[in-house]
Amino acid sequence: MRFPLYSAGPVGEDLFHWQGTIMGPPDSPYSGGIFFLKIHFPSDYPFKPPKVKFQTKWSPALTISRILHSICSLLTDPIPDCLLVPEIARIYKDERSRYEETARVWTKKYAMARDTENLSKDLMARNRIIKELLDLQKDPPTSCSAGPVAEDLFHWQGTIMGPSDSPYSGGIFILEIYFPPNYPFKPPKVNFQTKVYHPNINSNGGICSCVDILRDHDPKLGCTLEPEIARIYKDERSRYEDTARAWTQSAFRIRLSFLLFILEALFWFPQIEEHSGKRTYSQRLQKNCFMAHSRIQRELDNLQRNPLALCSVGLVKEDLFQWQGTIMGPPDSPYFGGIFIINIHFPPDYPFKPPSVNFQTKVYHPNISSSESSGTICSCLDILTNKWSPAYTISEVLLKICTFLVDPILDCPLEPEIARIYMDERSRYEEIARTWTQIYAIDGLSE
């Protein structure tokens, strides 16, 4: 099986700080080595390059995949015109065998295990873990997530969403996962970091030999770690479920930004009891927020795996409900060459209500407000108003806006004068649109 030469992903929850690994290319003095990279993305990426320990010509069209591929190529094909260490360059040019010998020594010393047997096992484990990580990123489970902690590929942290219709519903349970150096021939060690009231999980988070205990939420009473909890489960089921719910509630863990969002929402909408045993308003709001959180995260992950050709998006200050995106001006339009910044805000009851989208970059268009502080999109873009459906995604919204740029809707313009010029003086319209694009979407980006 052939494994990728490189991999990369966020460190913890910080999307702007990545850790990458590059496997030394075969048929090179770096073969067998595992090289780590630290990658830091600036807040105005992709207009500025990420910080990595190399120099290359940057363009917003480049991606981190192409950067990693370039570094792999750089290992086997140095660039003689751009030297950081002239003496090594001289040895490479004049004493190639000495260069390769020294490179092999350094690779063995700094990027390889101490002995061949451990190296073989380590590489096998790393390759397998990298493959499983890529598979998880490509097809993530609906109620679980997992990934490496900082730079340690053998130490992961995971989360499990409490299954619905169980006393764990609504909880977010954190796991620690440790892979042995001879994985997959030996199993990983898994324990709960979040306290769980369960017969098969002890107070330190240790799990007995049973599997899928939370997913099935049917304890295996033949191999209990907590006999008293097992007795309560068997003889006093309602008490067991009440206690499990109480523990789940006390162990609620969510991102700080999301917690602040909910607290703000609860402040404005106090808990007013409804009749007939229904949920309070705040409980329903909290349930909707978690549904929105899960859906938005899934859409963000999908966009990162399958980016759109003319669009990119990212979080604003790690707030999952507030995004900033860019749209590249479509070819064969007066907006070509421009990079238009948009703001996207998701409501707490998304996807049952549409996101709100506005342009931060000024655009000369009949259906987009030309106000300096607005950038409002006309309501005639019905995917954002009365024709919205929970089946739509933000990817479809972005594609619709790209089409909207080159094909205005003239029945309900926000800017009637621009609509008139579009209909009666098309060449003048396109000239003004190009001028605005140059001023605000090209030159304005460097200001």
| pLDDT given at position 288 | 52
Percent of the chain at pLDDT > 70 equals 69
Q: Widest CA span of the chain, in angstroms?
A: 87
Query: Higher-confidence residue: 111 or 270?
Result: 111
| pLDDT given at position 409 | 87
Give the dihedral sign, CA 395/398/402/404.
positive
**Residue 238: which residues within 8 A CB-CB, separation 6 or more?**
none
Residue 309 and residue 327 in contact, taking contact as beta carbons nearer than 8 Å:
no
Q: Measuring CA to CA, which residue among 169, 337, 310, 325 is closest to residue 252?
A: 169
CB atoms closer than 10 angstroms to residue 274: 11
| pLDDT given at position 439 | 92
Query: Higher-confidence residue: 309 or 324?
Result: 324
Whole-angstrom Cα distance, residue 441 to residue 422? 20
First to last CA, the chain: 49
Query: Higher-confidence residue: 96 or 14?
Result: 96
Mean pLDDT throughout 26-31?
Answer: 66
Mean pLDDT of the chain: 75
Whole-angstrom Cα distance, residue 216 to residue 211? 9
Whole-angstrom CA distances from 340 to 157, 250, 343, 375 are 37, 44, 10, 11
Which amino acid, residue 431? E
418 three-state secondary structure: helix
Can you read off the two tokens belonging to residue 149?
């902690």
Can you read off the two tokens belonging to residue 240?
């067991």
Please compute, for residue 239, the number of CA atoms within 13 A of its CA located in the half-sphere on the CB side. Answer: 9
Residue 164 and residue 55 in contact, taking contact as beta carbons nearer than 8 Å:
no
| pLDDT given at position 52 | 80
Give the residue numbers marked as catalytic: 378
Query: Higher-confidence residue: 210 or 27?
Result: 27
Query: Higher-confidence residue: 223 or 195?
Result: 195
Alpha helices (runs of H) in 95-159, residue ranges in sequence order: 96-111, 116-138
Whole-angstrom Cα distance, residue 169 to residue 163? 5
Percent of the chain at pLDDT > 90 equals 13
Mean pLDDT throughout 406-430?
Answer: 91
What is the separation of C-alpha 193 from the centre of its chain, rounded to a whole number of angstroms?
Answer: 23
Residue 303 has pLDDT above 80, yes or no: yes
Mean pLDDT throughout 62-79?
Answer: 64
437 pLDDT band (50/70/90 cuts)?
very high
Q: Measuring CA to CA, which residue among 297, 385, 388, 384 is closest to residue 342?
A: 384
362 pLDDT band (50/70/90 cuts)?
very high
Query: Higher-confidence residue: 418 or 196?
Result: 418
426 three-state secondary structure: helix
Whole-angstrom CA distances from 28 to 75, 95, 99, 103, 273 are 8, 16, 11, 9, 70
| pLDDT given at position 176 | 86
Does pTM surpass 0.75?
no
**Residue 273: which residues within 8 A CB-CB, separation 6 or more?**
280
Whole-angstrom CA distances from 42 to 50, 257, 259, 409, 441 are 6, 20, 26, 36, 19
Can you read off the two tokens belonging to residue 119?
């190296």
Whole-angstrom Cα distance, residue 28 to residue 5? 13
User: 146-160, 179-193, 416-430: lowest mean pLDDT where?
Assistant: 146-160
Residue 216 has pLDDT above 70, yes or no: no
- Write out the DSSP string of 254-321: --HHHHHHHHHHHHHS--PPPSTTPPPHHHHHHHHHHHHHHHHHHHHHHHHHS--SSEEEEEETTEEE
| pLDDT given at position 220 | 61
Residue 158 has pLDDT above 80, yes or no: no
Mean pLDDT throughout 53-81?
Answer: 57
Mean pLDDT throughout 120-148?
Answer: 74
| pLDDT given at position 214 | 40
Q: Measuring CA to CA, which residue among 300, 193, 319, 303 is closest to residue 255?
A: 319
Whole-angstrom Cα distance, residue 445 to residue 437? 11
Whole-angstrom Cα distance, residue 406 to residue 424? 17
Query: Higher-confidence residue: 212 or 150?
Result: 150
Q: Kind of pairing, strands 152-161 and 189-192?
A: unpaired
| pLDDT given at position 433 | 94
